Structure 1
């Protein structure tokens, strides 16, 4: 992953709605099906790192990517935000 941007709204949601005053969030690739790009990015709160290839802490929350999921974020910018529906993810190639 080239970089990660997490908005203040998303940090607030992780702490309030996801009960992550401090903790860990795994960023991973998952099958979304049917679209031209059948894979997307997912988040898993309270995950325990096994073989992280990338880690970054923001406001007491540790974000990490396992070696097996590095392909989904290769040379990408991942933006995590929050709106009225909850956490949103936007991945762009760099």
Structure 2
């Protein structure tokens, strides 16, 4: 799995999210909603500290991660996190690998 954070959404995270020491942005699968590859589930995100990261990457001082227990949601896909100008929020794009 590969996680891509676009420069536009990185700027949004820097402006909108306050992180404490050892905290980052966690992405996870949550019930309700849909993605282009999941029906009934959408991408959640939270400010959290990693416990058992499946994937983690620090970009410009911000830690982004996915926990091992969320592998079921991301398995077989690369995830790009972009910025939706119309909604003024992150957009999640899955690509099958």
TM-score (norm 1): 0.82
Unaligned runs of 5+ in 1: none
TM-superposed deviation, 1:14: 0.3
Inter-partner Cα distance in structure 2 for 1:33 and 1:7? 23
Inter-partner Cα distance in structure 2 for 1:81 and 1:68? 24
Inter-partner Cα distance in structure 1 for 2:30 and 2:51? 18
Query: Compared with structure 1, are the counterparts of its residues 71 and 33 closer, same or farther at alpha carbon in structure 2 (3 Å cutoff)?
Result: same
State how 1:20-39 maps to structure 2 within 5 Å.
20=19, 23-32=23-32, 37-39=39-41
Runs of 4+ in 1 over 2 A off after TM superposition: 33-36
Question: Is the Cα contact below 8 Å between 2:34 and 2:42 reproduced in 1?
Answer: no
Unaligned runs of 5+ in 2: none
Query: Compared with structure 1, are the counterparts of its residues 13 and 33 closer, same or farther at alpha carbon in structure 2 (3 Å cutoff)?
Result: closer
Inter-partner Cα distance in structure 2 for 1:52 and 1:5? 16
Q: Count residues in correspondence.
A: 92
RMSD value, Cα: 2.3
Q: Is structure 2 residue 88 aligned with structure 1 residue 88?
A: no
